[in-house]
Amino acid sequence: MSSRRKFIQTTALSVAAAGVGSLKGLAATTLDAEKKKEKVALKEGIAGYTFKNFSVDQSIAMMKRTKVDALSIKDFHLPLDSTPEKIKEVMEKFRSNGITVYAAGVIYMKTEQEVERAFNYAKTAGLDLIVGVPTVELLPFTEKQVKNHNIRIAIHNHGPEDKLYPSPANVMSNIKGLDNRIGLCLDIGHSLRAGTDPVKAALDYAPRLFDLHIKDLVSSAKDAKPTELGRGVMDFYGLSKALRKIHYAGRYSIEFEMDMNDPLPGIAESFGYMRGVAESLA
Amino acid sequence: MSSRRKFIQTTALSVAAAGVGSLKGLAATTLDAEKKKEKVALKEGIAGYTFKNFSVDQSIAMMKRTKVDALSIKDFHLPLDSTPEKIKEVMEKFRSNGITVYAAGVIYMKTEQEVERAFNYAKTAGLDLIVGVPTVELLPFTEKQVKNHNIRIAIHNHGPEDKLYPSPANVMSNIKGLDNRIGLCLDIGHSLRAGTDPVKAALDYAPRLFDLHIKDLVSSAKDAKPTELGRGVMDFYGLSKALRKIHYAGRYSIEFEMDMNDPLPGIAESFGYMRGVAESLA
């Protein structure tokens, strides 16, 4: 929100210069509100899967339009077997457009080679967080990689139809006792479909909550369809309050999984909604 | 939000039928949240000027996409000299698409003939609210039309550059003592540019506050540019609280005045933002 700060600073200065009393009062109020907001703001992001049908350039354009400055990069934008040169080139493209790639994922891993590849990929990209799904059997090997590279991994829960991690509890029970750099990427939609209140999950699993996939659903049924944030049943106000309470330091990444050939209006509405909820917590 | 209610009712029923205890709890929480929300929800709308460069059909498509169901119709969608048949045809087109035309405007009136025409147009369209700008000299004649037709008029403030009504206070001082069906359409952007805190204006002018044009600005300077709701300096949380406090019964209409050849993402983000703010007041 640095451009907002800039606007307000500019306003405050120009108002002071003009010496207009009534506007001074307004600007002061606005500055106070802004200070409060920054203190509690959750950091935004977007999950790369949202851009399944779009190139890196198209995705950057959509992120700039909606003022989203952080991405969890998905492999269709940067294949896992990319050369170091290619990895650096794509990362630099996001960086030069003002976008922080804060994680890579979701990366599925079924062999030790795939685990090693994911960690090397993250290391070359300069990332300290993988959002991944190693099989349960691979968790001890994954832990070794975490220790070797000092790169964290957030294991992503899927929904009730998933064999590996159908709910956040399945992730947590499997990583119990492992290095505390192995944690959870809580997908709130899959969690709700699995019958787990995502607000409760965020509170319960706070110390290991590294990343969030944020979405809304038209119901809490197992096969519930996604909808724009705020139109469905998800309690975003409760979730935002919970994240504040646990001093969540990660990002919340909106993963928008409808209108996938024309997602921009839905992405925009969804970020608008989350920003409106955040406003109220300021 | 009837489709939301439907979703939730369906969920509650299917959950009850399945007898799944944990989901029952979730559904109950969601129902409670929904009830609270309805109690305090402000009614949405959109100001027709937003669609300056789009046909009626294109505008309807954008409203449906963003789930906005009320419009203050602008003359480029329905010229003021339209035949009664044309007026009925266009009104029916909105109605059959689930959209309530709740007002006509902004309509500028510089002669008695133009005032008469505006009231006849509203009457033929079945509207009980005009958002308009009659000259100060025409206010007594406008009052007669209000009494004749029992149609209210909300006079719209422009900004500091306007000769007629540069701030809400100029509207209010000029309508003082006139029929109480003559009131204010508070344009919060123009108000802020004129140095009047819109939250204070909403509170001060509550009994005569009939309509709202909602927008955000990058600063409170006289020539400040518009921006998507939530990105600028406007205090929407404070405004929403004020509107609740005064039991505002009208609509808040977003008037989106940037990217006018491609406004959909900005409209979507702006409604998302207002809905997020409203969520927090539930």
Mean pLDDT by 10 residues, chain A (282 residues): 37 37 44 48 94 98 98 98 98 98 98 98 98 98 98 97 96 98 98 98 98 98 98 96 96 98 98 93 77
- In order of A49, A70, A238, B23, B34, the CA distances from A228 in angstroms are 16, 20, 17, 22, 16
Strand, helix or coil for residue B248: coil
Strand, helix or coil for residue A171: helix
Strand, helix or coil for residue B192: helix
Q: pLDDT tens digits, chain B, 282 residues: what are they? A: 334 333 333 333 333 333 333 343 454 455 444 544 454 578 999 999 999 999 999 999 999 999 999 999 999 999 999 999 999 999 999 999 999 999 999 999 999 999 999 999 999 999 999 999 999 999 999 999 999 999 999 999 999 999 999 999 999 999 999 999 999 999 999 999 999 999 999 999 999 999 999 999 999 999 999 999 999 999 999 999 999 999 999 999 999 999 999 999 999 999 999 999 998 787
Give the pLDDT confidence score for residue B36 in this predicted structure.
46
The pTM score is 0.87
Residues of chain A with Cβ-Cβ distance to B237 below 8 Å are 279-280, 282
Query: Do A277 and B279 make contact, defined as CB atoms within 8 angstroms?
Result: yes
Give which of B13, B23, B32, B64 to mutate to test A binding, by max A Cβ within 10 Å: B23
Nearest-angstrom CA–CA distance, B20 and B194: 58
Give which of A1, A66, A220, A228 to mutate to test B binding, by max B Cβ within 10 Å: A220
Q: Return the closest-CA partner of residue A267 out of A82, A53, A100.
A: A53
Query: Do A233 and B7 make contact, defined as CB atoms within 8 angstroms?
Result: yes
Query: Do A279 and B279 make contact, defined as CB atoms within 8 angstroms?
Result: no
Q: A50 to chain B nearest CA, in Å?
A: 16
Residues of chain A with Cβ-Cβ distance to B281 below 8 Å are 280
Instruction: Name the residue facing B14 among A15, A221, A267 (closest C-beta).
Output: A221
**Facing residues of B153 across strands?**
B130, B182
Give the pLDDT confidence score for residue B98 in this predicted structure.
98
Contacts of B259 (CB under 8 A, 6+ apart): B265, B266
Task: Tell which CATH classification among 3.40.640.10, 1.10.540.10, 3.20.20.150, 3.40.50.2300 matches the domain A39-281.
Answer: 3.20.20.150
Residues of chain A with Cβ-Cβ distance to B66 below 8 Å are 265, 269
Q: Could you tell me the residue ranges of all domains in chain B?
A: 39-281
- In order of A78, A86, A128, A143, the CA distances from A82 in angstroms are 7, 6, 18, 24
ipTM: 0.86
Query: Do A20 and B195 make contact, defined as CB atoms within 8 angstroms?
Result: yes
Element (H, E) at B201: helix B198-204
Among chain B residues, the shortest Cα distance to A16 is held by: B221
Cβ-in-10-Å burial (0-12, 13-18, 19+) of B136 comes to: middle
Among chain B residues, the shortest Cα distance to A262 is held by: B265
Give the pLDDT confidence score for residue B259 in this predicted structure.
98
Instruction: Name the residue facing B231 among A29, A67, A267 (closest C-beta).
Output: A67
Give the pLDDT confidence score for residue A162 in this predicted structure.
94
Instruction: Name the residue facing B235 among A8, A33, A231 (closest C-beta).
Output: A33
Among chain A residues, the shortest Cα distance to B31 is held by: A233
Give the pLDDT confidence score for residue B3 in this predicted structure.
40
Query: Do B8 and A233 make contact, defined as CB atoms within 8 angstroms?
Result: yes
- In order of A188, B110, B132, B160, B173, the CA distances from B115 in angstroms are 55, 8, 9, 25, 20
Rg (C-alpha) for chain B, rounded Å, is 20
Instruction: Name the residue facing B279 among A196, A219, A236 (closest C-beta).
Output: A236
Contacts of B118 (CB under 8 A, 6+ apart): B80, B104, B107, B109, B130, B132
